[in-house]
Amino acid sequence: MSQPSRPGEPELPAGGERERARAADGDAPPLDEVAAPGGPGSARVARPAVAPRARRWRRTRIALRVCAAILVVLLVLAFVGTDRFRGFGGGPSGATLARMKESPHFVDGQFVNQEPTEMMKAGQWAAAKQWIAGDEMRTPTCPLPIVTDAAARLAAPPVTGLRVTWLGHSTTLIEIDGARILTDPNWSERSSPSRWVGPRRFHPPPLALDDLPRIDAVVVSHEHFDHLDMATVRALSAKGIPFHVPLGVSAHLAAWGVPADRIVEHDWWERTAIAGGVEIVSTPSRHFNGRGVPFRVGAFWTSWALVGPEHRVFFSGDTGLQEAFREIGAREGPFDVALLEIGQAHESWGDIHLGPLGALEAHARLGAKRLFPIHWATFQLAMHAWSEPAETLTVEAARRGVSLVTPRLGEPAEPTRDAPAAPWWRALPPIAAACP
């Protein structure tokens, strides 16, 4: 039975008739009946029913607020971790951009390679599967052997006038005919714009920045994070060292406080003289640009020939195999030694990285006397075992009769005098069963 109304009030219908009556009043929401406080048998009171659509919208709003809060936290962390996004560098404008556009290698708003180049070749799905599920020992499981007295050894000049000290990845100190040149310097803990995320070093730098001898020039091959590091650039800039870079990279250096009069930009085949009569020559490479900022005009990439009165050195930076190596060797050789990238490569990236077999072919096209492998054993950026590039290179070089220079990290080597070094990585896993 329906509950009696109070005197003076109309009697309300019961159950569903009551809800239909409310709906008939206009836009009043339907009511649910619930027991009033007091337990079973107590009078029932009505409350508005929550429609399914309203419940879904409420959940959606909560989810959106949670996502917005997470995004804000990530942006704050990125802002702090990248030094207010400065780690990404700067975009070219003004005179820098105008000079980029004048280059014959700048086409339709971007730089291009001399040969048709694919970023990813056939087999990219297999490469993606290997990246996710591969079981290679991509990072060392024990400390790498490092020569720690490099500063003392570097205090005396090279006997032959040519000496190369590998400091990790593509960072080398080249002493040639009285000049000292630092290549692609990176002393940071991570290959990343952030201090907190990104590939970490396998080993500490063999030589502290403060222990470097006088440097006459820094050469940078391209703008990728493992070759152009903000913290290292700032530290070297404070020493007053000039930088030689490909077109467009000056925008990054300028954003990090390097004075314009200490930046020399190069297009391919441009040359600049430094100390000792040594010339720095920008030579073609086959690579690409990018620094994590969309819609920004990317900088150029280059390799370098260092031409002295008595010696000549080639530094590849990052590059795929190219016919231009023959021209480089003919114009700027013969090279006493070629520093060629061998690691952090994959067959699917064959147009933009050499790998060990590509390095051997590049060495032959350059006509260099000895091959010094770089771009390995410091950062994990590919799917191979950490020492596989050096092992493959050594085995195949012996078969082809190619002379290698494979010193330990931080060990100064004179390529025209020193005997080939022992393959030190064989004493470590995965080739060895355990750490020495």
Q: What is the DSSP letter of 390?
A: H
User: Contact at 8 Å (CB) between 246 and 289?
Assistant: no
CA atoms of 218 and 237, how far apart (whole Å): 10
| Partners of residue 200 on adjacent β-strands | 190
CA atoms of 421 and 89, how far apart (whole Å): 39
Cα–Cα distances (Å) from 125 to 130, 326, 355, 356, in that order, read 9, 33, 20, 22
Nearest to 250 by CA among 233, 238, 235: 233
Q: Which domains does the chain have, with CATH numbers?
A: 124-427 (3.60.15.10)
CA atoms of 409 and 426, how far apart (whole Å): 15
Specify the pLDDT at position 78.
64
Is the dihedral angle over the CA atoms 309, 250, 410, 373 positive or is it negative?
negative
Write out the two tokens for 389.
């590039």
C-alpha dihedral over 372, 375, 380, 385, to 10 degrees? Answer: -30
Q: What is the DSSP letter of 412?
A: -
Q: What is the DSSP letter of 85?
A: T
Residue 53 exposed, middle or buried by CB count within 10 Å (0-12, 13-18, 19+): exposed
Specify the pLDDT at position 202.
97
Helix (H, G, I), strand (E, B) or coil at 41: coil
According to DSSP, the β-strands at 279-283 and 271-273 are antiparallel
| pLDDT averaged per 10 residues in sequence order, the chain, 436 residues | 47 49 47 51 56 84 86 72 82 96 97 94 81 93 96 97 98 98 98 92 97 98 98 98 98 97 98 96 97 93 98 98 98 98 92 97 98 98 97 98 97 93 96 97
CA atoms of 99 and 11, how far apart (whole Å): 89
User: Contact at 8 Å (CB) between 172 and 183?
Assistant: yes
Write out the two tokens for 407.
């010193």
3-state helix, strand and coil shares in percent for the chain, rounded to the nearest 5: 30, 15, 55
CA atoms of 335 and 256, how far apart (whole Å): 34
Neighbour count for residue 272 (Cβ, 10 Å): 14
Is the dihedral angle over the CA atoms 111, 120, 131, 406 positive or is it negative?
negative
According to DSSP, the β-strands at 243-246 and 217-219 are parallel
What is the reported pTM?
0.84
**Type of residue found at 145:** P
